A and B are shown apart, each in its own frame.
Chain A
Amino acid sequence: MGTRSLLWDITKKYLTVGLVGLTISDRYASIVSIRGSSMSPAFNPGSDTNDYVLLEKFCLDKYRFSDGDVVVFSSPNNHKEKHIKRIRALPGDWIETPNLDVLKVPEGHFWVEGDNSVSSLDSRSFGPIPLGLIRGRVTHIVWPPKRMDRVERETNQRLSPIQDRPKFY
């Protein structure tokens, strides 16, 4: 009888830790690893180790994001994959597509691009993405120790919103 109640106690402890951990990682923050080099040099600058980053989920309450935030979202083509990219345009902004078309980002959607535009599958291929697919915002790099740092918002000068461009008519 002693071992059975001991086993039951251990199981209860593990279950509690599991439930609390799951709740925290769903609602507050979690740590994920990044694969691929579509966000070099901000993440995974070399090909030797993968960065681990802190993903915060408080932003999913009101869905308020800014231009330049790094977010993790489910891929629109395959719901099992998750991608990490930087937001380049918010709902209502105008953006220039690679075909030199000008597109207005629909409401409830956003436009993402990888920092390393050469090897990045992003909104330039699959178009604007609904905000509901976002799973969290990256705030800090937590591993490897020499790269531990806050992740800053970076607005890109190259692809500024259309209203900043000089008009030629």
Chain B
Amino acid sequence: MTRPTVGLLYNPVSPLLIAQAPDLVEYLGVMPDRLWYDFGPNAQGRRFHRTLGAIDELRRCAEGRLTAGHGIGLSLPSAMPLDEAFVDAVAELAADIGFSWFSEHLSVFITPKGAVPNAQAGLGLPIAYDDEVYGIVAGKAARLRQALGCPIALENGAFFTPVPDPDMTEPQFLNRLHAEGRCETLLDLHNLYVNWRNGGETPEAYIAQLDPAAVIEIHLGGGDDFAGFYMDSHSSLTPEPVWETAFAHVAGFPNLRAITYEFQETYYEDLADGLIPELERMHELAETWAPRRRLAHAG
């Protein structure tokens, strides 16, 4: 396996950044939910209307780059059947762009009565890490894998209120999904930092419980302080403590395929000067993967 690729969660300003530094962006995480208008399951006529111009632009950017899908709308832990029309639409895009894997979130965005508002996947509802939810997630992940024909990963979320009285911890839940061949882990290191800043466990304690072989992608990103909490707003560069965690652990994830920076496009002007140095530092991070891995083999 080669070293992990470095890239971005694709947004409308990504083409500008790619034009400035084409060689620094090797990978694109693509959110299908942002490439169509969803008129809902009760739509009269066609439900998903694709933003065709944006998809053309994405196709151009995706040329010569690794891509994977990153969805919100499937809400795998929801206690309701998988939205098969949504799966079909994702499968069509996956085939069109050539996703190497597809990730979703380990949180609830859809309830039986409707959608949980999320301006940018900011707030999904936390889930109970128990056998019942495990069964739902594992079953849907397997179905999704079959429909898309590529590996599936689930991303750890940022939560202000974990669900008490769990049967297992979140890393144990993710480990079990990996061990039983259902899906892999997208480890968002900034989300670990958010949870720690808001009173949760340290990123170190979390990673110590996680099977490193499960991790196929990591997310970097930044947030800001608001009303006494630290928010996962994707408004800033990756904070220093998150870099420290990344440099301490990247070499230990043997199946890592991508290191991804996510930012909200409305902050592009504020971030502009910092984005290329951010990508350069991500390449330095990716370089730490191979040498230590060779050493591990030698040992």
Partners in one complex: no
Residues of B within 8 A of A (CB): none
